[in-house]
Amino acid sequence: PEQRGDLARIQASSRHLLGLITDVLDLSRIDAGELPVAREDAVTAPAVRAALDLTRVQADARGVELVDARAAHAV
């Protein structure tokens, strides 16, 4: 079970890294004027939750408490 958890975090980390690389490439396309940009509202809770889940093990190991301040304002 512990190894499965570790593997799940590794997979999540690799997907996150791929997303970061894709975002950097998109930013370069935006900067070059090759990708149009439009502002819109978005739900961020799943992304914030995933980021906290991804880093919680490392934070706990270092005695760092992660707090989602948005939870106090959730509707």
Cα–Cα distance for residue pair 15/5, rounded to 1 Å: 15
- How would you write the pLDDT of the chain (75 residues) with one tens digit per residue? 889 989 998 999 999 999 999 999 999 999 999 999 899 999 988 888 888 888 998 999 999 999 888 766 554
Query: What are the respective helix, strand and coil percentages of the chain, to the nearest 5?
Result: 70, 0, 30
Predicted local distance difference test score (pLDDT) of residue 65: 92
pTM score > 0.75 for this model?
no
Closest by CA position to 52, among listed 3, 9, 5: 9
Place of tokens 């970061």: 20
**What is the pLDDT, as a whole number, of residue 75?**
45
Residues near 49 by Cβ (< 8 Å), separated by ≥ 6? 68
| The pLDDT value given to residue 73 | 56
